[in-house]
Structure 1
Amino acid sequence: MRGENNLQHTARDSTAAQCHVLIVDDDPVCLEEYAELLESLGYPCQQAPDAATALRMICNDYRIGIVLTDLLMPEMDGLTLLDELSNRFMATRPLLAIVVTGQTSLDIAISAMRSNAIDFLEKPVSLQSLSASLRRASARWTRLAAVFQLQALAQTTGGGASDFSQGRAPAAGAKPTIEELQNFASQMMKDRQIRSKFFDAQILNGPAWDILIDLAAAGLQGRAVPTSSACASTQAPFSTALRHVNQLVEANLVKRTVDPGDKRRTLLELEPEALEQMTRYLASSWEMHSVRRR
């Protein structure tokens, strides 16, 4: 039972690793509209009515990884917020900004990009354009988070890869020694060997494996995952990730169903046998890492 509880805790950490989107807009109607769109796409989100509130929330919550902000706001406008994000946070944590505005011009777009905004959306924002922008931002955030977390893992002996997902900043420390890097590489190889005991080698690499991990974490909590969210968990373009989803469905590892609450959306979950295999793999991997920590 103790091992099962630890495994479920690991699954919750993995699921929480999808970053939160912070919506910043002084218009309550826009806040609600964007929140509904994000929830329909499967993105966890929070709301801030102004830039100052947004900065406080970002400072206190490391789960926030994408900021969707309006430009025209009283007191502190969106461009000032972008400068604050760039100067205060982006060098030390994975954080990306998307700009939404009804006042489009080349000068504004250039100013936003100079302040490290990665996308520029024009009001009214369509579900399609928002979805595409968030997929790109999520893929980039995943890559950035991996870099920051690998650095934190290398610099600490007790640090975990879930620091960002739990709302904590990673601890700083010395650079890893050659021996520590060798041990880390050996650990990665052993983990790959464990995977090969449960699954065919063709799905051990790339988006397919990322999707299996994402669905396993959700499956251990008894829930399904929106297709868009599962695709966003990979570092591949949406069309590539979707192709891997279809291959997993054809291989009878993943089941696709229609969301009963929204017929426009499909949900993914592991087939019972696949969930059992992933559970055994996670238990074996967790045991290996636990032995190493003792």
Structure 2
Amino acid sequence: MAQADFDYALAADAAGLPLAVSIFADCDLLRGDLEDDVTQAGLCVRERGNLDQLLAGDARALGEIILVDCPQPDVAAMATLARLDGRAAKSGARLVISTSMESLDVVFGCCSQSNPQILVNPLRAERVIALGRLLAETPNLRLRELSEDDRLTLLRLTEQVGQIANRLDRLGSAGSGWGQKAGGGAFRFESPKTGYRAENELVRRPRPALPDARLVRQIIHQRNARGKFFDAELFADPAWDMLLDLTAARVEHCRVSVTSLCIASGVPPTTALRWIGQMVEAGLFDRVEDDADRRRAFIELSDKAADAMARYFAEIGQDILALA
């Protein structure tokens, strides 16, 4: 069977106008790579510049897609990201922001409206995949009149590229034990399957109490221990690992930062961020702004998720919890 042809002309909206992309990064080499990738993806580069050009002057017309590399944002950059987030939410523009793990909480806190793709220390392959996801998910997009089946095929291809990039990155890293994954690098797509949704209505009966936090932490410890002897990818279940971590935190009356939750997920931060977005949309996680610092945000279990977790633990029984 012939391979699908994805060498399309300039991507266009429903009216046939080329999609424009704005690129802002301080690194000249990175800007060049981004421009090449944008062009290869069939998009049109409207402008490219460093962060100072984005920060300085009055508001400017920006592209439908805005790529920003902001590894260590200062106060001015944070303010600009917040304004950019608001503009994108109102205009429908799509944001892709790359940053460092150290600045993840700050960047996440600045972007509460537009649901951007946030990439953490990304490889070039991850940036390309982010563009592919935008093309596959953007409604009313004309890519040489792609059919819906073609669009799904494109999305699956981006997932496959992510898996390949992950393995190539691992092969290029040294120092990991037998059967274990080397640190860093590209992510794997593990989004919930089509049609996934949280249960809408829970049985109306008194909710049992959540279990002791120490017991939940013991379960988490046991799950993490498997990674000492096997490749952790064999057991990757970020949604469940994050649910467990937030359950323990709720019992302990502790707040969980985005960075901490990404670590608890057991998958690379970029993958974890996509999962967090999915769980927020499903009504299982709540984003809670920090009253003391509006630039920060925390993630908590929603009441619906807490109810479901309490009933789950009551269902499996205290006598077998330690074996979970």
TM-score above 0.5, yes or no: no
Q: Which has the higher contact order (CA 8 A, sep 6+)?
A: 1
TM-score, with structure 2 as normaliser: 0.27
